[in-house]
Structure 1
Amino acid sequence: MSGRALGHRIDERITLHYDTLPPQERRAADMLLAQLDDLATYRAAELASLAGVSKATMSRLFRSLGFADFDEVRDHLRGLRTAGEPRRTDGAPSLSGHAESEGEAIRYVLESAPIPEAVRLLAGAERILVVGWRNSYPVALHLREQLAQIHPSVSVGPQPGQTIGEELAGIGGADVVVAVGFRRRPAGFSAFVGEALRTGAAVIVFADPTGSAYLARATVPLECPVQGELAFDSYAAAMSLVSALADGVLESRGREARERASAIASAYDRLTEVE
């Protein structure tokens, strides 16, 4: 097989080599594409039967695509899921199994994360900058919204249509930068963490285990698992951690935080902004 396809996803490999495949292997390839989301839930013999080809033909197709056998295909698909691509690798999960997995992730985070250290930094910061891109942005925004109720200077970035460099201008040793970087992070995340550290500010990093390199560089690392029983990542543990941090900051800042929260609630009432 041409080395060009090595490292490509299985569907990309099929596209690269489709025109050169014999008719029977092409037929099997069509079936693989049709069953791609659930491919790892089948056995090789079942796939051959679905395609209407022999097991030998299916084996030849796997080799044509650069895989030694179907076990290697399964490993490939699990690797895609680990990298954050939505894909089922173990069959359709039950909702009860999903709920159990979510509960375990939340317990793990709340019991293992250095929450007191993060609360101390956030409560004592002069300014807080929370940053997140793509699927990390909702977590960053939620953290900002919670902290803004009880802290006078909390911002989130990047704002729509804006870059992030200007957000770091003026950040210094009395401040805290929270970098939220779950998997499928933008390529510039590492550079941002480095730049945030260079400001002298404390840097709190939210990340899943694939962000271990960034967690290791953080002043306070907050590791949150995101992979559960379903095909798509879950941020239940991260959102629960946000609530725990905000609650801790409220307690730590005491009367000042409570008065700010009350003042904001009164403004809501006067402006009729919320029900």
Structure 2
Amino acid sequence: MNDGVVRTAERVLDLFQGARLTPTQRRIAHSLVQHASSAAYLSAAEVAELAGVSQPSVTRFAMALGYPGYPALRRELRALVGVGAAPADNGDNATQRALRAETRHLEQMADQLSSLDAVRKAAGLLSASRPLPVLGMRAAGPLAAYFGYFAAKVLPDVRVLDGGGTMLLDRLDQARAAGATAMLAIVLPRYPRETLELIREARSTGLAVVALTDSAVSPAAEHADVVLPAPVGTQLVFDLHTGPMAMAMVLLQAMCDAAPEQTQARLEEFEATASRRHIFEA
């Protein structure tokens, strides 16, 4: 995926930011973002087939965004494609382009975080949960472990859920029985089915769900109480997760800010223990 396609997808996503969409409409939006360059030239019937929905659903989706119908939305999409389709060639190689795209992702996230309402709401839900389950399957597993490692320094009971199978449901039940009231779900492409199923199960048992995912219209968003979007880089063979990692640390910072005295006490206790046990060389 070249820089122009990345910018086009970002502009298409901006069309849907803040819109109150049904699960079906989120599926349509997600398909348009994932196929931004080509979707702008498809008919309503072709978009419906791409998203796996009915053609009237595509029309209702366009109207939900404030357009009189799908043709008006398609004209807007075509204009966006025209803006981003021909980036200037500044001589960068593929690796440089991929990393520069990550810089733009971080700048986009910084702009979106001019309001911290969603982050603070998420921090409040997660900070109050004892224990705190953190879900991350497949590609999201390392990020769940990374978040869990640092969160455990300031929270008394953090449980990373990163293994599949039926025992995963058992671990969720155990966390809820121990007093958990919320769960952080880190959901990255290609959206493992077992992750989405566990999120639905968590919601059905009364847990609040904070989804840290790649887009506001990702499949995880329709099942979450709070969505924290953080785009992933797609220009290398495997995705770059710079944005999601940054968002995870922004969220943890907000959790620390919500209870500064408790955070300080826990950190001092950890440092004293680390010193006594000679855990670190420096």
TM-score class, shorter-chain normalisation, is 0.5 to 0.7
Whether contact under 8 Å (1:93, 1:229) holds in the other structure is: no
Evaluate the alpha carbon distance shift between residue 162 and residue 260 of structure 1 in structure 2; reply closer, same or farther with a 3 A threshold: farther
Between the aligned partners of 1:115 and 1:121, the Cα distance in structure 2 is 10
Task: Name the counterpart of 2:213.
Answer: 207
Q: What letter corresponds to residue 201 of structure 1 in structure 2?
A: L
Judging changes above 3 Å, is the alpha-carbon distance between structure 1 residues 206 and 93 closer, same or farther for their aligned structure 2 residues? Answer: farther
The aligned runs of 1:223-234 (5 Å cut-off) are: 223-234=229-240
* Shift, 1:182, TM fit: 0.7
- The structure 1 residue matched to 2:132, chosen from 128, 132, 137, is 128
What is the CA deviation profile of residues 50-100 of structure 1, one whole-angstrom value per residue up to 9, with x for unaligned ones?
xxxxxxxxxxxxxxxxxxxxxxxx98xxxxxxxxxxxxxx99844443332
Aligned to 1:86: none
Tell me if structure 2 keeps the 8 A contact 1:181–1:205: yes
TM-score (norm 2): 0.59
Distance in structure 2 (CA, Å) of the matches to 1:249 and 1:158: 22
Deviation at 1:124, TM superposition (A): 2.3
Q: Is 1:151 the equivalent of 2:155?
A: yes
Indicate conservation of the 8 Å contact 2:133/2:161, yes or no.
yes
Q: Relative to structure 1, is the Cα distance of residues 271 and 105 closer, same or farther in structure 2, using a 3 angstrom cutoff?
A: same
Paired positions, count: 189
Q: Choose the corresponding residue for 1:247, options 250, 253, 259.
A: 253
TM-score by length of 1: 0.61
Counterpart of 1:154 in structure 2: which amino acid? V
Distance 2:121 2:255 in 1: 11
> Alignment partner of 1:204: what SS?
strand
Note closer, same or farther for the CA distance 1:187–1:217 as it changes in structure 2 (3 Å cut).
closer
**3-state SS of 1:169 partner:** helix
Q: 1:162 to 1:264 in 2, by over 3 A?
A: farther
Could you list the runs of 5+ residues in structure 2 that have no partner in the other structure?
Answer: 1-36, 39-86
Q: Distance in 2 between matches of 1:216 and 1:201?
A: 15
Q: Which residue of 2 aligns with 1:106?
A: 106
Answer yes or no: is the 8 Å Cα contact 2:209–2:224 preserved in 1. yes
Counterparts of 2:165 and 2:126 in 1: how far apart (Å)? 27
Work out whether 1:176 is the aligned partner of 2:182: yes
Cα root mean square deviation, aligned: 2.9
Q: Which of 106, 118, 123 is matched with 1:119 structurally?
A: 123
Runs (4 or more) in structure 1 with deviation over 6 Å come to: none
Separation in 2, partners of 1:164, 1:128: 15
SS across alignment from 1:231: coil
Amino acid at match of 1:168: L
Other structure's SS at 2:218 match = helix
Summarize deviations over 1:93-147 as a string: whole Å, max 9, x none: 4444333211221232344362122112122223210011111001111111121
* Matching residue of 2:272: 266
Conserved? CA contact 2:153–2:266, under 8 Å = yes
CA-CA distance at 1:153 after TM superposition = 1.6
Contact 1:110 1:241 in 2 (8 A): no
Residues 122 and 110 from structure 1, CA distance in 2 versus in 1: closer, same or farther, beyond 3 angstroms? farther
**Paired residue for 2:141, among 116, 137, 144?**
137
> Does the 8 Å CA contact 1:177/1:201 hold for their aligned counterparts?
yes
Q: Which SS does the other structure have where 2:259 is aligned?
A: helix
- 2:169 aligns to what? 165
Percent identity between the aligned chains? 22
What SS does structure 2 have at the residue aligned with 1:156? strand
For 1:164, give the aligned amino acid. Answer: L
SS in 1 for 2:160: strand
Matching residue's letter, 2:150:
Q
Distance 2:251 2:278 in 1: 28
Q: Distance in 1 between the 2:217 and 2:93 partners?
A: 26
- Contact 1:101-1:228 at 8 Å conserved across structures: no
Mapped to 2, the partners of 1:197 and 1:162 lie a distance apart of 17
